Structure 1
Amino acid sequence: MDGSHAVLVLLLLLVMVPTVTWSEQTDRLFSPDLASVTRPPVRFASGATASNCEQYLQAKRTSVLAEDVNNIRQSANYLTCDTLALLQHAKVSLPVAGQDYGKVLAESLDLRSFPSSLAQMLDDNRYTLSQLDNPALQLSNEVVSYSTDELNFSLQLMALADADGDGVDDWIVWMSDEAKEGNYADYEVLLIHDPQPGKVMTAALPNH
């Protein structure tokens, strides 16, 4: 299944399950002409620039994003491209009706398994969002957001798909990690392999 076909299948499946409401933003992000959509340009350390998914994924094979904060913030527009790359050969599955994905991410995802600005807050007793000092998490069906005076952090489930080909659905999650002041920002696609709600889950950065 190529990337465009996978995206179309995902959209069709979501339409077929009216009991599960995914955000309008998600639907807009996964559109049939995704690869050729012009986006704000980003620069790479090699000197290459990209303004669509094709250019971005090509440049990323041999280089990394230039590390200035404005460029990193612009890279948030390309999370869709990284997601397409993961879905290219994946079998996309139906979301589970009634599953509170945001709550599962808050309670079960081990934040130590991937880099973020939350690292200094974590230890063996506190390693999920629900265990951190601020209990006022913002939850929705597919999103969990955590905010302090210093930062905004969120995780959003974007797709269910067998990305690693082992016959079990993986979760593709977008991370947004931004300092409210200063020059820190990071946006990543996380892959949670074979998640089992109720058990501790870990995430990887498949595009690194």
Structure 2
Amino acid sequence: MSWFKRVMGLEAPAPKGALSANGSPLGLRNGGMLCLDSSLKLLLDGHSYVVLPGDEKIWATGRIDLGQAMTLWRFYLDDEDYFLQVVSNGPQPEDVQDIILFGYYSATPINSRDELLRLTGPDSPIGLPTYEHEGEVFERQWGSEAGQTELTPMLEQVASPDSRYQVKHLSMLYARETGLIGRREFLLFSLEEDEEGNLTLTTAVGVTLASTDITVL
């Protein structure tokens, strides 16, 4: 069982009132099959480090209220290495503001305060204006400080067919241009805390998608 399914409490019974994906954009929902355009792999080859998954079922849905009627949705795939992130202000295609496919690069459990400070504290490169990853330089997307900026807090409500769970995030997003029009590559760091207080630092690499890249069955 993956780290994500462990913190989701896969074996726990689903409580009444569990989060539903009703109202989510582009027909994305738990149990739906996410299919990506077959031409994407060739298009992104040499421009992005994201390895695209094959057709995959959506295993769980996360929702983060951004305020001002904006919602950040995360659709976690049955292949646990991936999630699709959609920002929208409604369920219609024209309401979608942003689509990014993320693949997890790493997930590091944090077991001590010293480890927490080393990975996310003042001496960590996370939060600085630029971050180098796999030889590519990414620019910080959140915060205007000349030096390190604080991680951004978010509260995610996640539901699978088996359970409902809440995850606290302290996150930082970076991006770089890929050379393709309308396609950027992203680097997302998130210090995630489950309801039992367990901490995990995740790193995910993503790429911009268009709604026409996606079919949901």
Q: State the TM-score, normalizing by the size of structure 1.
A: 0.28
More helix as a share of residues: 1
* Bigger relative contact order (CA 8 A; separation at least 6): 2
Q: State the TM-score, normalizing by the size of structure 2.
A: 0.28
More strand as a share of residues: 2
